[in-house]
Amino acid sequence: MLIHQRTIKQPVSISGIGLHTGVTTTMTLRPAPIDYGIRFRRVDLPGQPEIPALVDHVVEVARGTTLKIGDAKVHTVEHVLAAMVGMQIDNIVIELDNIEPPICDGSAKPFVDALLKAEFEVQDAPKDCLIISETVRFTNEKDGVEIVALPTDDYRVTVLIDYQNPALGSQHTGLFDLEKEFVQEFASARTFCFLHEVEALHAQGLIKGGNIDNAIVIADQDLTDANLKRISKKLGLNQALVIGMNGTMNNKELRFKNEPARHKLLDLMGDLALIGAPIRAQILAARPGHASNVEFAKKIRKLYQQQRLVKKYQFEKKEGVIFDSNALLKILPHRYPFIMVDKIIEFKLDERIVGVKNVSSNDWFFQGHFPGRPIMPGVLICEAMAQTGGVLLLNGLENPEGKLAMFTSINNCKFRKPVVPGDQLLLEVTVQSRRSKIALMKARAFVNSELVAEADFSAAIVDRTETNGNQH
């Protein structure tokens, strides 16, 4: 895989109809600068709004992946994005003058051909890759879906499909060398559906631009000529439908024996582009679909955001430490003598964090609490838990330096056992719920695995220029 970021040298355009909306769209691919990412730009809307190709902006996954910000929306982005991943494009503007990219022949090859025509430009910056260091798993038992990312130093994808339909059966495929295999073996794999789905999809307002030239229709039921004519008329097709001897409508010749599986791999590549960074991983997927792909992409993107934040604040790698005291000074607004957490040893973005406070006889509060029998004040244990929670909340933001976690309430606070010099407080905080700028958290403090204090906190995330209330 490439080391440096990549864009294209010159603009290139493609026109055609959208698969689901049926609208005619001209799509123009344009070069973009370093660290710009992949963005869709709706040039037909006022202000030409852009939608970054990120899973945060996914709003629909019905037979395709749809992105939206405000009034700007783009349907069926997965084939275009698969081409970007396959050709290792990091920075590009995808201009559209309508709501859906052209479906072309139902594959990613027309977009690959356009990229090749535009030629590539290597940029003077390294790729910001996400390296999977431990297994990440997504499971949907109801639909029999399982997707796993395993550590490796390359990009590999394996897909198994099984629709429990005798017209298709089980198929599998795998991509093991992106540069050698993608263009020849996967880019031209076309989208598909079953004959029994066609009328239902049309009734849902989908496949308005679909026909047998831009999709493979698998003949999984016997219909009379009259029924086939009725379906053809309803879809507005200019040609008659017949059930082919090879199992596809109108004897559509497959480009690969396992073309449906290859297209599912293509879809998966496109959906995982929404992570927002190239990944180094072995992806294994059983029965994937857009909904499961997007949920998996959300998990991986959160891991990517976490890795970026750790790199941003923790310059020196230390075994067993996520953020050391120097990193915490960059994250938290507190300063001596009110820093109540020494390091972070576990961190799961916007979910869970574990901090450590080493309690020393040198701590200033022991001078008066209490002479002759030093005990850490319960309110400062709460402060230590709150500061740890503040790290968790602020690191879930794009610009934590400009924000404060202001705690608005403490509930169900209990102190189980005194904390004295020589103890090491283990501070565990989990997010119970989070809506916009408000979060509810549960915090617990341990000494030698014994619970010494616990409390429920609520906090508001505000700009640092706002100073009313208690700041943590």
Active site residues: 290, 369
Strand 438-447 relative to strand 424-435: parallel, antiparallel, unpaired?
antiparallel
Answer yes or no: are the C-beta atoms of 174 and 276 closer than 8 Å: no
* Beta-carbon count within 10 A of 465 CB: 7
**CB 459 within 8 Å of CB 405:** yes
Position 394, amino acid: L
Report how far residue 404's alpha carbon sits from residue 397's, in angstroms, rounded to the nearest whole number: 11
Residue 315 · residue 395 · CB < 8 Å: no
- Residue 354 CA to residue 143 CA, distance in Å, equals 35
- Which residue is listed with tokens 């994808």? 157
Q: At how many degrees (to 10) do helices 78-86 and 259-272 cross?
A: 80
Is 430:444 a contact under the CB 8 Å cutoff? no
**What gap in Å lies between CA 136 and CA 280, rounded to an integer?**
13
User: Which tokens is 111 given?
Assistant: 């977009």
Cα atoms found within 13 Å of the Cα of residue 379, Cβ hemisphere only: 3
Instruction: Please name which of 89, 104, 77, 130 lies closest in space to residue 17, comparing C-alpha atoms.
Output: 104
| Count of alpha carbons within 13 angstroms of residue 70, beta-carbon side | 11
| Residue 110 three-state SS | helix
DSSP secondary structure letters along 15-43: EEE-TTT--EEEEEEEE--TT--EEEEET
Element (H, E) at 345: strand 343-348
User: 395 is written with which tokens?
Assistant: 């690191």
- The whole-angstrom separation of Cα 113 and Cα 111 is 5
Q: Are residues 441 and 460 in contact, defined by beta-carbon separation less than 8 angstroms? A: no
Cα 190 to its chain centre, rounded Å, is 24
